[in-house]
């Protein structure tokens, strides 16, 4: 390998598992009871003075991020994986070996705990129009004939009541879903940039669910959606995903630019 090339890490798997790779340019490197799924890239794609600008350019970023995810999901269809973050680079196979050796026990412990479990994402959504209509209905029942200021005050009180009620709804939902899972993480909620959109994400959760518990987990999602539809609350399930939310923090590898 010349000085312009780096090794790009997609994910790790146990070396005892036989893997078939479909993506051209991707290969396995085995060391310390682990198999690293890697490929060769040009260093200057990801490192150097122009790298930060490229990482902000969606036309450059999107196809590479998509390939990253496709490679990992192909491996995940065959065996449990520890997914690497996008653009995890090593300047040599020797630096990759050292990295795997340094973190060997954490990685092997992760695979032992992961077993047959898979990550599922659940977003809790709120339709503001439906929720506001429910508030209006309560107001019309509770405060007929009040003057404008009293109605305004009543609306605020009802919205605060609705907010407290929603908190309880999401707490109960998280508790019920966790009964089917062995792991739970709260993730960052990305708000829609369009303030006119009536539906907004309120919670963003990740669950690590054993294969045997997945039917019950999915049924629980459907039951929660049915129970709370009239209040504007819904739940969206996606997955299974590589277990990014539960992977151990292994530190920063030796960058290709060093």
3-state secondary structure of 81: coil
List strands edge to edge, sheet with 5-14: 26-31, 34-42, 5-14, 82-90
The answer to whether residue 197 is domain-embedded is yes
In a shared domain, residues 50 and 104: yes
pTM: 0.82
Structure tokens at 155: 């609306």
In a shared domain, residues 166 and 133: yes
In a shared domain, residues 131 and 233: yes
In a shared domain, residues 101 and 129: no
Helix (H) or strand (E) holding 8: strand 5-14
Residue 252 has a pLDDT of 60
In a shared domain, residues 108 and 125: no
The answer to whether residue 253 is domain-embedded is no
Per-residue pLDDT reduced to its tens digit, 144-177 = 555 656 666 656 666 677 778 788 889 999 999 9
Residue 129 has a pLDDT of 78
Residues in the chain: 258
In a shared domain, residues 87 and 100: yes
Domain count, the chain: 2
The answer to whether residue 126 is domain-embedded is yes
In a shared domain, residues 236 and 130: yes
In a shared domain, residues 94 and 172: no
Which of the listed residues 73, 96, 114 is the one where a domain comes to its end? 114
User: For residue 26, what are the domain limits?
Assistant: 5-114
The answer to whether residue 256 is domain-embedded is no
Residue 138 has a pLDDT of 53
Which of the listed residues 114, 141, 161 is the one where a domain comes to its end? 114
Q: What is the CATH number of the domain that holds 145?
A: 3.30.70
Low-confidence ranges of the chain (pLDDT < 70): 1-3, 131-159, 192-196, 251-258
Structure tokens at 151: 């109605």
In a shared domain, residues 166 and 96: no
């Amino acid at each position: 390998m010349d000085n312009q090339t780096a090794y790009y890490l997609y994910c790790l798997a146990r070396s005892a598992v036989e893997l078939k790779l479909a993506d051209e340019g991707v290969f396995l490197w085995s060391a310390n009871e682990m198999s690293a799924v890697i490929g060769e890239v040009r260093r200057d794609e990801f490192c150097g003075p122009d790298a930060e600008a490229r990482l902000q350019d969606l036309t450059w970023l999107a196809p590479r991020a998509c390939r990253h995810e496709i490679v990992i999901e192909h491996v995940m269809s065959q065996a449990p994986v520890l997914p690497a973050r996008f653009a995890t680079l090593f300047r040599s196979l020797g630096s990759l070996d050292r990295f795997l050796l340094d973190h060997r026990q954490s990685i092997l412990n992760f695979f032992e705990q992961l077993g047959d479990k898979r990550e599922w994402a659940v977003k809790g959504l709120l339709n503001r129009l439906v929720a506001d209509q429910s508030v209006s209905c309560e107001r019309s029942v509770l405060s007929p004939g009040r003057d404008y200021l009293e109605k305004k005050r009543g609306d605020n009180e009802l919205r605060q009541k609705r907010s407290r009620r929603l908190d309880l709804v999401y707490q109960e939902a998280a508790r019920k879903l966790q009964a089917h899972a062995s792991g739970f993480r709260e993730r960052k909620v990305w708000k829609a940039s369009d303030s006119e959109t009536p539906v907004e994400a309120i919670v963003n959760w990740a669950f690590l669910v054993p294969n045997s518990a997945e039917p019950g987990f999915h049924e629980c999602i459907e039951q929660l959606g049915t129970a709370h539809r009239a209040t504007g609350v819904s739940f969206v399930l996606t997955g299974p995903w590589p277990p990014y939310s539960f992977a151990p923090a292994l530190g920063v590898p030796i960058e290709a630019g060093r």
